């Protein structure tokens, strides 16, 4: 059994981080696209993005395109490191069980 | 801090893999769809122009290819500002030119095609590429490739003098609709 980051481990936050980490470092995902990819509701997704932002793992940028508001979420450098460490921990747990 | 067992860890890794795959596919679709719609418009125009001025068809298709390559760089630049990913670069251009060169070698070097055969060969040749690429990057490419190829062959065998307008509709129109459909997905 191993210990790791509770912030990333929550299922929806794990999906958010997985989605953002699948993109190049500078690229972000719009809220609507992130909602489709994770299958989350507006409120749930917003709350979990806020948790990740408070931890410094994601950056949220709000802008207006014409009259429409657009929210874009991007991983921070700290978020990428934390996610990589989390994935490594998961792999270690599986490898440890196979030994 | 929590503790989890190997089964939960495997399930989490599987979730990560599944989401990452969907993101990559959705990004490919988002970037490719703009290129496909742009090529659809050009191909539609190329077919209509070839129908109206058949003697200039060779020049018309060269112009379509040049405009398509230039437009691909513009669309790719636009996509890069939004996603950070370049969808059309020098490597893609090289692949495209090699693909064209092989097509020319087949249609001019190895054999001499009639205009109607040429107008059939190029779309099904390109749709073969769509279908093959689709085996790796997503089923939408396979659907577009096979659908347009089948309708092109149907036109070749069944449509008489209205073959070019038919090709404008199913090749140009097919790419535009396919690109928009891909964008929705």
pLDDT 10s digits, B123-148: 999 999 999 999 998 899 999 999 99
pLDDT tier at A2, thresholds 50, 70, 90: low
The mean per-residue pLDDT over the stretch A6-28 comes to 91
In this predicted structure, the answer to whether residue B99 has a pLDDT above a threshold of 90 is yes
Contact (CB, 8 A) for A4 and A44: no
A-to-B residue pairs, Cβ atoms closer than 8 angstroms? 80
- Token pair of B114 as six digits: 């009639």
Q: Can you tell me whether residue A48 is helix, strand or coil? A: helix
In this predicted structure, the answer to whether residue A12 has a pLDDT above a threshold of 70 is yes
- Hey, which residues 118-177 in chain B have their CB within 8 Å of chain A? none
In this predicted structure, the answer to whether residue B1 has a pLDDT above a threshold of 60 is no
CB contact under 8 A, A19 and B23: yes
CB contact under 8 A, A1 and B83: no
Contact (CB, 8 A) for A33 and A49: no
Report how far apart, in Å, the C-alpha atoms of B60 and of each of A51, B55, B56, B57, B67 are.
56, 10, 6, 5, 10
Residue B10 with chain A: CB contacts under 8 Å: 90, 94
Q: Would you state the pLDDT for residue B2? A: 60
CB contact B6 to A (< 8 Å): yes
Instruction: Write the CB contacts of A81 (distance below 8 Å, at least 6 apart in sequence).
Output: none
Chain B: nearest CA to A95, how far in angstroms? 8
Fold classification of A6-98 is Arc Repressor Mutant, subunit A (1.10.10)
Contact (CB, 8 A) for B124 and B153: yes
* Mean per-residue pLDDT of chain B: 91
Say how many CA atoms lie within 13 Å of B20 toward its Cβ: 15
- Token pair of B164 as six digits: 């070019």
Residue B2 with chain A: CB contacts under 8 Å: 3-4, 6, 9
CB contact under 8 A, A3 and B20: no
The mean per-residue pLDDT over the stretch B80-96 comes to 81
Chain A: nearest CA to B180, how far in angstroms? 16
Q: Give tens-digit pLDDT for B12-33.
A: 999 999 999 999 888 888 889 9
Instruction: Write the CB contacts of A93 (distance below 8 Å, at least 6 apart in sequence).
Output: A1, A2, B4, B5, B6, B9
In this predicted structure, the answer to whether residue A35 has a pLDDT above a threshold of 70 is yes
Q: Give tens-digit pLDDT for A49-99.
A: 999 999 999 999 998 888 888 899 999 999 999 999 999 999 998 887 776
Give residue B35's region: left, alpha or beta (phi > 0; psi -120 to 50). alpha
Going by C-alpha positions, the residue among B125, B154, B109 that lies closest to residue B61 is B125
Query: What is the C-alpha to C-alpha distance for residues B172 and B131, in angstroms, rounded to an integer?
Result: 17
């Amino acid at each position: 059994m191993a210990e790791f980051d509770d912030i990333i481990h929550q299922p929806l936050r794990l999906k958010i981080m997985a989605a953002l980490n699948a993109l190049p470092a500078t690229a972000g995902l719009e809220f609507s696209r992130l909602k489709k990819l994770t299958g989350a509701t507006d409120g749930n997704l917003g709350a979990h993005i806020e948790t990740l932002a408070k931890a410094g793992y994601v950056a949220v940028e709000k802008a207006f395109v014409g009259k429409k508001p657009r929210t874009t979420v991007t991983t921070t450098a700290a978020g990428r490191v934390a996610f990589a460490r989390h994935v490594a921990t998961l792999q270690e747990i599986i490898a440890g069980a196979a030994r | 801090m929590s503790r989890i067992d190997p089964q939960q860890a495997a399930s989490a890794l599987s979730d990560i893999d599944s989401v990452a795959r969907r993101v990559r596919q959705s990004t490919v679709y988002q970037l490719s769809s703009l290129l496909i719609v742009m090529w659809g418009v050009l191909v539609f125009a190329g077919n209509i122009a070839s129908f109206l001025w058949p003697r200039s068809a060779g020049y018309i298709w060269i112009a379509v290819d040049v405009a398509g390559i230039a437009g691909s760089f513009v669309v790719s630049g636009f996509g890069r500002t939004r996603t950070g990913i370049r969808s059309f670069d020098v490597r893609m251009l090289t692949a495209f030119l090699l693909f064209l060169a092989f097509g020319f070698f087949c249609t001019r070097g190895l054999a001499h095609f009639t205009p109607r055969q040429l107008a059939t060969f190029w779309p099904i040749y390109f749709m073969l590429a769509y279908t093959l690429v689709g085996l790796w990057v997503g089923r939408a490419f396979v659907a577009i490739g096979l659908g347009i190829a089948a309708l092109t062959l149907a036109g070749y065998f069944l449509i008489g003098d209205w073959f070019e307008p038919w090709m404008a509709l199913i090749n140009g129109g097919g790419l535009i609709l396919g690109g928009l459909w891909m964008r929705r997905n």
